[in-house]
Structure 1
Amino acid sequence: MIDETDGAGETPDASDPSTAADMSAAEAAETPAGDVIDSPDSDVTASEASEASEAAEAAEAPEAAETPKPGVLTAIAAFARTHRLPLMIAGGVVAFGLIGAGAVAAGIASKGGGAASAALATTTPTPTPTVDPARPVPAAIAAASRLRTCSVADRADDGRLANFQAQVMNASTGEVLYDRGGTTASRTASVMKVLTSAAALSVLGPDHRTPTTVVKGSEPGSVVLVGGGDATLSRTSSGTETVYPGAAHLDDLAAQVEAAWDADPANPPLTKLILDASYFGGDEWEPSWNLKERDDGYMSNIAALMVDGDRDEPGSNTSWRSDDPVGRAGDAFADELGGIEVIERGVAPAEAQQLGQVQSPTVAQLVDKALVVSDNTAAEMLARLVAIETGSGNTFGAINAGVLEGLAAYGIDTTGITIVDGSGLSDNNAVPPSYLTRLFVKINAREGNLGVLMDGLPVSGERGSLSYDDRFAGDNSVADGAVSAKTGWIDTGYTLSGVVRAEDGSTLTFAIYALGDVTDEAKQAIDTLTTGFYLCGDNLSNQ
């Protein structure tokens, strides 16, 4: 045996009986005494090489190695201990060879030529990345919004605003600058007239007029006065200016009828007048309205036939109204015709001969009237005509569907909106401020026919209901001429919504609701807050 040491300089313990026995058995069975194997790194005896060979064969043929020969594993372990350094060197050589071969293969593949490249491409396909559908995908990071520093917190913290809701939007960017309950649908008071007017301009158009007609009755000596929904028809003499610019007059209509009647010598004298108001159906008074609105002169019963909005005083915006507008119109027309002995309600015969007709002011003129002085009767006239034109019906109950259909043309979501009337008198109306801020963006841009609506709005300190002595007074007069908006007032709330041309040059759309237990002073609180919007402009903070 040759005396060898491992890389650490340790000598195998030949005195260990088991080791000695294993080594003697291996030497006797496999290697003649004294044989050696030449190696450039070390001298290894033939018996030791034989033991290593047996181990390799066992690895290649597991079936034969299931039961190792006694002492083989021990011999291998001893061999590994005594030849640690050579084995490490040999392992390094093998690993280096494998790395080199991989590099060569990679080089061949990168050149893209030959069978080797094709083989590599075939055997090692590039994996396709997959996304686990269960893993959340990060949302795009929103752009940082501008830090705005102009606060209206002190103005908004005014008890006169009661249950306060508001929203302000930059009309150019669409960014909501200020919001307090802006998406909650609530009663609007007369701001509802903005929706009614927008629907009328969409469905009817600004030049539309509605007629009042007289036809020949089925009985001898009778005529039928057929109302077409024109609340502005006046009993005053032609040429007289009433609260409704462009209104038709009964004396003109009566003159046409008399001329047509007298043109046929076979006609007997006119003695009977029939009143046909069937163009509108259902109740004349919306059940949720307070009757004091009629007694105080702010609203009439709604009928397809009336004169002067059923006012006692045709030239006064606020004037007592009756409970029978149709009868009042019939009496006034009978006076113009003369000789009428009987007046009764009825319906015009089909295909009856027309004896005369007059036309209402245009929708554009009616919109102006409904907005600038908040004329309730004109607004209800528009709402009912819209409902009829859309095919929704001719009653109060048809207004919701009709007006919403008219508003659909503007492409703003109307979900959650409830429209009970055209004027806004009902507490049951419900519109969120956010709808108004978006609609006013389109109104300010004069989309479609909405320029008519923009031109009809009251203006702070200059026009209509925002020019009264109690609006935008004192410190708030700094915003005179800068606010175009619709006012609103009912017993349970004050509102204002429209457009502000702010001090910094930006254009804002806004809506303010002060609802609940409010007093007349809510108007001043609303004006003060609106002035704050004007002063802040695009620097308005939501704090």
Structure 2
Amino acid sequence: MSDQQPTSKSVPARLRGAVAAARRSAARRPVPWIAGGLAGVLVLGSGGAVAVAAATMPSRPVAAPSTSAAPRTPASTPRATRTPSAAPTADARAVPDETTGPKALCTCTIDDAASAAGLGSFEGFVMDAETGETLFSKDGDEAAQTGSVMKTLTSATALAVLGGDHRIPTTVTREADGTIALVGHGDATLSAGGGTVYPGAPTLAQLAQQVKAQLGDAPVTTIVADDSYWDDADAWDPTWPENERTIGYQPRVTALMVDGDRANPSAATSPRSTDPVGRAGAAFRTALADAGVAGAADAQVVQRATTSTDTIASVSSQPVSTLIGQMIPNSDNTLAEMLARVSSKESGAGGSAASLTGVYQDALAGYGVDPAGIAIKDGSGESAANAVSPSFVAHLMVRVAAGEEGLGVLSESLPVAGVSGTLASRFTGANAVARGRVHAKTGWIDSANTLGGWIDAADGTRLTFAFYAIGSSRAAALPALDAVTAATYSCGGDLTSS
């Protein structure tokens, strides 16, 4: 406030100064927007002039009253007046001379798209990544099944627990009397050779050559296949449909396997066996024989924990950052389960499926998001018993989109609408407007289709979001999810919930 008394300047000039002061006051104490305007009375000095000003949002300019009206002339006989308090000084910014009236608040809604029948029981949440403002929420705080959007949480957890440079080893130990052990530590990319969906993966041939160099002409009579790095008693979640294994989307989750236990190592979707550990042992026997290890072709394969710490051969996976880059675009369930279990084991939680909720909560809290209430049954999102709210996903995606805390590799791996990964063929027709602007992880299980990530909207606003279509068919859900996402892109920062 100024210490100066009012001067003899004209009433309109004083009025403009008062309006400018009111604008500054509104910026400090926002006034709710009321359609049609809320009248406020300003009494200016001894002249008794009265102006009516409409209340507006603080971010919208307040129009000055018209200067075309002649100022009211004071009466010739002076009236007794109280000494006015110090008047506010005028804002340094120019005030328009013409009355333009209050501007309407820009709004945009996605309510119609979010009500589409194809979305089934819909949950959704959208926020401004820069300001943190919630722009849309439809049951956004309700924890629900995520589908493969879960893989974004798995990636963030692995990066927090293991780090992007961590590599997963597979070793061979030497026991007595011609016995060696192939010891798994969770690397599902270990390859038997003859093709792989994981470029750069380590191979059994590399291990076999190291074994040959160590043993020379000494024979091998027994090969131990050791998957005891974690307990394989919960290798298959009871909520997973069995056909996920037989069709080829999901293996049994064991710490030792080769080629993700695929029947065809070169095919991402390929039937998996009921005994990935035994299959790995048999493949290693073949690799040893091919490397010229004496007796290997006839060696017995047994499954148990090794009794030795004498390591004679070792290979390692690609870095975790590379594994995430291989997992996210094609939604690889195998890598997701491996990263989840290895994260649990390396954090000291044992590697069981039952430990995952606590492991994820501890890791994700480090990104500044509140993980209370999430329930994690697996790393891939395959289980309908997983429970994570769209709001949580959207808040995590703020960090992902910014590439903070080492999350840049996840951001760069997300499929892009109409361009890459599982979104390459999506966002067609009217929804093509958002092609190239939506970076998101898809999710699909029998009971839900989901999408979560970030959007560079039409007006330049960066939004983060998660949308769940629960209970509808995939054929109906996908175009409906694309439509509500494209509508969000078009609204941008003007998006509001009804």
Cα distance in 2 for residues equivalent to 1:148 and 1:526: 25
CA shift for structure 1 position 156: 1.3
Cα distance in 1 for residues equivalent to 2:336 and 2:410: 13
2:224 is matched with 274
CA shift for structure 1 position 361: 1.4
AA at the equivalent of 1:249: T
Q: Write out aligned runs for 1:139-154 (5 A).
A: 144=32, 147-154=105-112
Tell me, yes or no, if structure 1 residue 336 matches structure 2 residue 287. Answer: yes
2:249 is matched with 298
Equivalent of 1:321 in 256, 272, 277 = 272
Tell me, yes or no, if structure 1 residue 373 matches structure 2 residue 330. Answer: yes
AA at the equivalent of 1:531: A
Equivalent of 2:403 in 446, 459, 465 = 446
Cα distance in 2 for residues equivalent to 1:366 and 1:499: 22
- More deviation, 472-481/526-535: 472-481
SS in 2 for 1:521: helix
Cα distance in 2 for residues equivalent to 1:269 and 1:370: 39
Q: Write out aligned runs for 1:23-102 (5 A).
A: none
Cα distance in 1 for residues equivalent to 2:352 and 2:497: 42
Contact 1:148 1:541 in 2 (8 A): no
1:507 is matched with 462
Residues 285-342 of structure 1: per-residue CA shift (max 9 Å, x gap): 0111111111111101000000111111111111111111111111111011123421
1:243 is matched with 197
| Unaligned segments of structure 1, at least 5 residues | 1-139
2:419 is matched with 462
Contact 1:273 1:340 in 2 (8 A): no
CA shift for structure 1 position 182: 0.5
Q: Write out aligned runs for 1:198-217 (5 A).
A: 198-217=156-175
Cα distance in 2 for residues equivalent to 1:217 and 1:160: 60
Equivalent of 1:383 in 321, 336, 340 = 340
Cα distance in 1 for residues equivalent to 2:324 and 2:30: 42
Residues 413-463 of structure 1: per-residue CA shift (max 9 Å, x gap): 111110111000111110011111111111111111100110110111111
Equivalent of 2:209 in 234, 250, 255 = 255
SS in 1 for 2:122: strand
Contact 2:119 2:472 in 1 (8 A): no
1:396 is matched with 353
Residues 197-233 of structure 1: per-residue CA shift (max 9 Å, x gap): 0010111000100100001023x11110001110010
AA at the equivalent of 1:176: T
Computed over aligned residues only, the root mean square deviation of the Cα atoms, in angstroms, reads 1.5
TM-score by length of 2: 0.77
2:12 is matched with none
Cα distance in 2 for residues equivalent to 1:494 and 1:183: 18
Tell me, yes or no, if structure 1 residue 185 matches structure 2 residue 143. Answer: yes
Cα distance in 1 for residues equivalent to 2:136 and 2:484: 12
SS in 1 for 2:404: coil
Contact 1:288 1:427 in 2 (8 A): yes
Contact 1:228 1:279 in 2 (8 A): yes
Cα distance in 2 for residues equivalent to 1:447 and 1:319: 36
Higher helix share: 1
SS in 2 for 1:177: strand
AA at the equivalent of 1:174: G
AA at the equivalent of 2:202: A
Contact 2:440 2:453 in 1 (8 A): yes
Tell me, yes or no, if structure 1 residue 479 matches structure 2 residue 434. Answer: yes
CA shift for structure 1 position 141: 6.0
AA at the equivalent of 1:236: G
CA shift for structure 1 position 540: 1.2
Tell me, yes or no, if structure 1 residue 405 matches structure 2 residue 359. Answer: no
Contact 2:173 2:308 in 1 (8 A): no
| Unaligned segments of structure 2, at least 5 residues | 1-27, 33-56, 60-104, 290-296
CA shift for structure 1 position 394: 1.7
Contact 1:313 1:319 in 2 (8 A): yes
Contact 2:170 2:184 in 1 (8 A): yes
Cα distance in 2 for residues equivalent to 1:461 and 1:253: 41
Equivalent of 1:522 in 473, 477, 480 = 477
Contact 2:254 2:276 in 1 (8 A): yes
Q: 1:406 to 1:143 in 2, by over 3 A?
A: farther
SS in 1 for 2:314: strand
Cα distance in 1 for residues equivalent to 2:202 and 2:147: 29
Identity across matched positions, percent: 46
Residues 232-261 of structure 1: per-residue CA shift (max 9 Å, x gap): 101115xx5x21122111111111111111
Q: Write out aligned runs for 1:107-122 (5 A).
A: none
Q: Which structure would you say has the larger Rg?
A: 1
1:312 is matched with 263
Cα distance in 2 for residues equivalent to 1:233 and 1:363: 14
Contact 1:213 1:358 in 2 (8 A): yes
SS in 2 for 1:486: strand
2:185 is matched with 228
Contact 1:390 1:405 in 2 (8 A): no
SS in 2 for 1:541: coil
AA at the equivalent of 1:160: G
Tell me, yes or no, if structure 1 residue 155 matches structure 2 residue 109. Answer: no
Cα distance in 1 for residues equivalent to 2:130 and 2:303: 55
SS in 2 for 1:410: coil
Cα distance in 2 for residues equivalent to 1:350 and 1:143: 74
1:10 is matched with none
SS in 1 for 2:323: helix
SS in 2 for 1:298: coil
CA shift for structure 1 position 401: 1.3
AA at the equivalent of 2:429: G
Contact 1:386 1:406 in 2 (8 A): no
AA at the equivalent of 1:459: V
SS in 2 for 1:193: helix
CA shift for structure 1 position 366: 1.4
Cα distance in 2 for residues equivalent to 1:274 and 1:478: 56
Cα distance in 2 for residues equivalent to 1:143 and 1:495: 38
Contact 1:246 1:361 in 2 (8 A): yes
TM-score by length of 1: 0.71
CA shift for structure 1 position 143: 5.9
Cα distance in 2 for residues equivalent to 1:521 and 1:340: 55
SS in 2 for 1:420: coil
